[in-house]
A and B are shown apart, each in its own frame.
Chain A
Amino acid sequence: MGDWMELNHNVNRRKFLTSAGVLTAGALLPKALALAQTQKVRVGLMLPYTGTYAQLGVAITNGFKLAVAERGNKLGGRELEYFTVDDEADPAKAPENTNKLVQRDKVDVLVGTVHSGVQMGMVKIAKENNTLMIIPNAGLDAATGALCSPNIFRTSFSNWQPSYPMGKVLADRGIRNVISLAWKYGAGEEAVAGFTEGFIKAGGKSVRGLWIPFPNVEFQALLTEIASIKPDAVFVFFAGGGAAKFIKDYAAAGLRKTIPLFGSGFLTDGVLDATEEAAQGLETTLHYADGLNTKRDRDFRSAYYKAYTFAPDVYAVQGYDAGLLLATGLDAVKGDISKRKEMIAAMEKAKIDSPRGAWTMSKAHNPIQDIYLRKVVGRENKLVSVAHKALADPARGCKL
C-alpha cells in the first residue's frame, strides 16, 4: 500500500514535471525566435563629448542619428540601441573606454572616434576582438594603412588625403619653394608628408619643414624665420584654437601681402567666427566645402538644420556617412548581424550617396573621394574647384 502510494506519487510528479516542461518550453519557444529577429542592433558610440573636441563628437553623433532617423529609425529592419562613452580625446584612457563598449556592453558595431591617438587604441582592441568598427573622423594613415583590417572601415579621410592635392595646386601656380609649418605630432607630420609628395610630383622644387611642439601656439619666432627665408608660399597644418591664432598672427605680421598661405582644410574649418578679416581669401583643400550646390547637399543641410537648429559641418557629414555605411551593411543581410562576411562585402561595395558627393570604399576601407579647393569668403569655405577627382589613399603597408 505504502509502495503503491509512493509509486503513484512519483508518477504524478513526473507527469507534472514533463507537462510543466512542455508548457514552459511552449511558452518560451516562439518568444525566443521572435527575440532573435527584433533584438536591437547594439551600436557603441565612442566619441569626445567633453573638452576641446566636444563639438566634433556632438556633430558626428547628430549626423549618424540623422541618417538612422531618415530610415525610420530601423536599419535592415532592426532598431538600434546606443551605448555611449565619452572618450575625452584622451589616448591614455582609450583601451579602458573601448573595452567598456566591447567587453561590457558587447556592442555589434563600434563607431568612433575623433582623436588619432585614441583611435590607435581602439583599432588595436577592435582587431583583437574582431569588432566591426566605423571611424567617423580620426585621420591617422595607419588605420587604413599598415593596421588595416577587414572589420575596420573609415568614412572620413586619411591625413595624407586632403593635403596631397594641395601640392599640385601650388606647383601649377609656378610655386617652387615652400616652407611647411605644422605641429610636430602624427596628424601634422602625415599632412605635411602628403602635401610634400603631391608638390614634388607636380614639379615643386623644395619643401622646408618647420615644426612646433603640439599644442604650442607661440608662432612669432617662426613667422620671423619665414619672413627672413622668403619662400614662394607657406603650407600649414593647424586646427581649432591654434589655427585661429596662426591665421591672425600671419596676417598681423604682414606676411599675407608677400607670401601666400595655404593649408589643409582644417585650418579654416570652425574658426571663421574667430578670425574674421584675417582669414579672408585663404585657400585650403578638404573633402567638403560650402556651396557645393547639389540637391543632395542642400537636402542634407536643411534636414540637419531642421533636426538640430544649427548648420552642419564636415564632421556632421562624416557621422552621417557612417550611418549610411552601416545601413548599407545591415540592409544587405536584412539585419542579421551574424552574417558578418556578407555584411562586410556589402560595405566594401557600398556607394555612399554622401552630401559631400558620392564616394566608394577603397580596398583598405577608406573613402575614394573628391577633394575640393576652397576659398574663405565671409564665414564660409566656398567651393573653388575640384582639386583632385576620386582620390584614393595609397594605403601603404595594407595587405587587404
Chain B
Amino acid sequence: MFYLIQLLNAVQYGLLLFLLASGLTLIFGIMGVINLAHGSFYMVGAYLAYWLAKLTGSLWLAIPIGIVIAFAIGLLLETAIFSRLYKRDHLYQVLLTFGLILIFEELRSILFGDEVHGVAIPALLDYSIPLTDTLSYPVYRLFVTAVCLGVAGLLYFVIHKTRIGMMIRAGTSNREMAASLGVNIPLLFALVFAVGMALAAFAGTIAAPISSVFPGMGNQILIICFVVVVIGGIGSINGAMIASLAIGCADTIGKVIAAEYSAIAVYLVMALILLWRPQGIANKA
C-alpha cells in the first residue's frame, strides 16, 4: 500500500515539475534563450495568487487573472528586452536573466515584504481522503495532478495537431528555414515566450496553497527544471514529460532509501540518462 502511495507522490511531484519545465523547454528549444528568470515567474505566479486571492476572495478568480497578468508581463519582456538579444551569445542572455532574477526578488521584497505567506485551499477541495489508518491524501494535491495532466494533454494537442504547433515545431528544428517559408518568427517568439512565462506563473499560482509563498521560492525550483529540460531533450514537450516523471520517481525513491542523499539520486539519474543519450531522451542524435 505504502509503495503505491509513494508512486502517487512521485507522479504528483513529477507532473508539477512538468508544468514548470514545459515552458522552460519551449523557450530554450525554440528561441534558444537560456532563461534563468523562469523560476522568478513561478514566484511571480505564487505571489499573484496570494495577492489576487486576498483581493478577490477566491483562488478560482486569482488563477485566470494571474495567468493573464503573467502572459502580459512575458509579452512586454520579450518585445522590450529579449528580442534584442536573440542574435547575441548565450552569455548575454544569462547575464540578462540573472539580472531579472535580482530585480524580481527586490520588487517582491518591496511590494510584499519578506514574510512567509499562505494561500488558503479553496473550500471545495479542502479535505483529505484517508488512505490508511494513519495517512490521508489531500484532495487539492490530486486536483493539481489532474490539472497538470490536463495542461500536458493540451500542450500535446496544440503542438502536434494544430497549425501553430506545426510552426513551433518547424521553428525548433530550423529557425531560418521556417522564416523563409513565411512563418512570422518575431510574432511566434513573442507568443512562445509569453506562453512559457504564463505556464511557469500558472504552476506558481496552482502550487501556492501547497507550497506557501516565500522569498527565493523560484530559485529553489529552477535548477531541477533545468535538469528536466536537459534530460528530456531541449525543446521537446514529450521529453520533458518523461524526464519529469523520471525525476519525480528518482527523488521519491531517493528519499525513501536515504533521504539525506536524495539530491544525489536526481543527479545520478541525470548522469546515467545523459551517458545513454547525450542529446536527451526525446531528441534524435
Q: Is the beta-carbon distance between B210 and A249 smaller than 8 angstroms?
A: yes
A273 sits at the interface (CB 8 A) = yes
Kindly report which residue of chain A lies nearest to residue B132, judged by CB atoms.
A227
How many Å from the CB of A302 to the closest CB on chain B?
A: 22
Q: Is the beta-carbon distance between B118 and A273 smaller than 8 angstroms?
A: yes
Q: Is the beta-carbon distance between A274 and B118 smaller than 8 angstroms?
A: yes
Q: Is the beta-carbon distance between B256 and A225 smaller than 8 angstroms?
A: yes
0/1 string, A210-240, CB within 8 A of B gives 1: 1111011110111111011010000000001
Contacting residues, chain A, for B263 (C-beta < 8 A): 213, 216
How many Å from the CB of A366 to the closest CB on chain B?
A: 28
0/1 string, B12-45, CB within 8 A of A gives 1: 1100000000000000000000000000000000
Q: Is the beta-carbon distance between A224 and B2 smaller than 8 angstroms?
A: yes
Q: Is the beta-carbon distance between B109 and A221 smaller than 8 angstroms?
A: no
A2 sits at the interface (CB 8 A) = no
Q: Is the beta-carbon distance between B259 and A222 smaller than 8 angstroms?
A: yes
Q: Is the beta-carbon distance between B133 and A258 smaller than 8 angstroms?
A: yes
Q: A230-B134, A245-B211 are in contact. Are A218 and B259 (CB under 8 A)?
A: no
How many Å from the CB of B232 to the closest CB on chain A?
A: 19
Q: Is the beta-carbon distance between B116 and A273 smaller than 8 angstroms?
A: yes
B114 sits at the interface (CB 8 A) = yes
Q: Measured between alpha carbons, how far is A192 from B85 in the docked complex, in Å?
A: 49
Kindly identify which residue among B9, B109, B133, B210 contacts A245, using a CB–CB cutoff of 8 Å.
B210
Which among B113, B210, B255 has the greatest number of chain A C-beta atoms within 10 A?
B255
Contacting residues, chain B, for A50 (C-beta < 8 A): 106, 109
Selecting from B64-72, B160-168, B212-220, the interface stretch reads B212-220
0/1 string, A58-89, CB within 8 A of B gives 1: 00000000000000000000000000000000
How many Å from the CB of A393 to the closest CB on chain B?
A: 25
Q: Is the beta-carbon distance between A55 and B113 smaller than 8 angstroms?
A: yes
B122 sits at the interface (CB 8 A) = no
How many Å from the CB of B212 to the closest CB on chain A?
A: 4
Q: Is the beta-carbon distance between B128 and A241 smaller than 8 angstroms?
A: no
Q: Measured between alpha carbons, how far is A361 from B134 in the docked complex, in Å?
A: 45
Q: Measured between alpha carbons, how far is A225 from B128 in the docked complex, in Å?
A: 18
How many chain B residues touch A (CB < 8 A): the figure is 46
B146 sits at the interface (CB 8 A) = no
Q: Is the beta-carbon distance between A210 and B116 smaller than 8 angstroms?
A: no
Q: Measured between alpha carbons, how far is A227 from B138 in the docked complex, in Å?
A: 14
How many Å from the CB of B218 to the closest CB on chain A?
A: 12
How many Å from the CB of A131 to the closest CB on chain B?
A: 29
Q: Measured between alpha carbons, how far is A297 from B263 in the docked complex, in Å?
A: 44
Which among A218, A245, A258, A273 has the greatest number of chain B C-beta atoms within 10 A?
A218
How many Å from the CB of A64 to the closest CB on chain B?
A: 19
Q: Measured between alpha carbons, how far is A248 from B207 in the docked complex, in Å?
A: 13
Q: Measured between alpha carbons, how far is A174 from B252 in the docked complex, in Å?
A: 33
Q: Is the beta-carbon distance between A248 and B262 smaller than 8 angstroms?
A: no
Q: Measured between alpha carbons, how far is A104 from B113 in the docked complex, in Å?
A: 32
Interface size range on A against B: 35 or more
B89 sits at the interface (CB 8 A) = no
Q: Measured between alpha carbons, how far is A141 from B139 in the docked complex, in Å?
A: 42
Kindly identify which residue among A52, A212, A218 contacts B114, using a CB–CB cutoff of 8 Å.
A52
Kindly report which residue of chain A lies nearest to residue B216, judged by CB atoms.
A52
Q: Is the beta-carbon distance between A221 and B136 smaller than 8 angstroms?
A: no
Q: Measured between alpha carbons, how far is A302 from B13 in the docked complex, in Å?
A: 46
Q: A218-B13, A241-B215, A245-B212 are in contact. Are A271 and B138 (CB under 8 A)?
A: no
Q: Is the beta-carbon distance between B259 and A270 smaller than 8 angstroms?
A: no
B268 sits at the interface (CB 8 A) = no
Q: A241-B212, A241-B217, A245-B210 are in contact. Are A258 and B134 (CB under 8 A)?
A: yes
Q: Measured between alpha carbons, how far is A51 from B105 in the docked complex, in Å?
A: 8
Q: Is the beta-carbon distance between B260 and A220 smaller than 8 angstroms?
A: no
Q: Is the beta-carbon distance between A254 and B128 smaller than 8 angstroms?
A: yes
Kindly report which residue of chain B lies nearest to residue A54, judged by CB atoms.
B114
Contacting residues, chain B, for A270 (C-beta < 8 A): 115-116
How many Å from the CB of B173 to the closest CB on chain A?
A: 35
How many Å from the CB of B226 to the closest CB on chain A?
A: 16
How many Å from the CB of B83 to the closest CB on chain A?
A: 31
Contacting residues, chain B, for A244 (C-beta < 8 A): 116, 118, 212, 214
Q: Is the beta-carbon distance between A223 and B215 smaller than 8 angstroms?
A: no
Q: A54-B109, A218-B13, A244-B212 are in contact. Are A227 and B134 (CB under 8 A)?
A: yes
0/1 string, B109-125, CB within 8 A of A gives 1: 10001111110100000
Q: A212-B259, A244-B116 are in contact. Are A224 and B212 (CB under 8 A)?
A: no
B135 sits at the interface (CB 8 A) = yes
Kindly identify which residue among A215, A220, A240, A252 contacts B116, using a CB–CB cutoff of 8 Å.
A240
B130 sits at the interface (CB 8 A) = yes
Contacting residues, chain B, for A105 (C-beta < 8 A): none
How many Å from the CB of B207 to the closest CB on chain A?
A: 10
Q: For window 182-215 of chain B, which residues contact chain A by CB distance below 8 Å?
A: 210-215
0/1 string, A10-24, CB within 8 A of B gives 1: 000000000000000
Contacting residues, chain B, for A230 (C-beta < 8 A): 134
Q: Is the beta-carbon distance between B128 and A252 smaller than 8 angstroms?
A: yes
B251 sits at the interface (CB 8 A) = yes
Q: Which of B's residues lie within 8 Å of A, judged by CB?
A: 2, 5-6, 9-10, 12-13, 105-106, 109, 113-118, 120, 128, 130, 132-138, 140-141, 210-217, 220, 251-252, 255-256, 259-263
Q: Which 9 A-B pairs have the closest CB atoms?
A: A241-B214, A254-B136, A274-B118, A211-B260, A227-B135, A252-B138, A221-B255, A244-B212, A227-B134
Given contacts A212-B260, A216-B263, A224-B6, 11 further A-B contacts (CB under 8 A): A51-B114, A51-B216, A52-B214, A54-B114, A55-B113, A218-B251, A221-B252, A228-B2, A241-B216, A253-B135, A255-B135
Q: Which of A's residues lie within 8 Å of B, judged by CB?
A: 50-55, 184, 210-213, 215-218, 220-225, 227-228, 230, 240-241, 243-245, 248-249, 252-255, 258-259, 270-271, 273-276
Return 21 A-B CB contacts under 8 Å, by A number: A52-B216, A54-B109, A55-B115, A212-B260, A213-B260, A216-B262, A220-B13, A221-B10, A222-B259, A227-B2, A228-B2, A228-B132, A228-B134, A241-B212, A241-B213, A244-B214, A245-B211, A248-B210, A254-B136, A273-B116, A275-B212
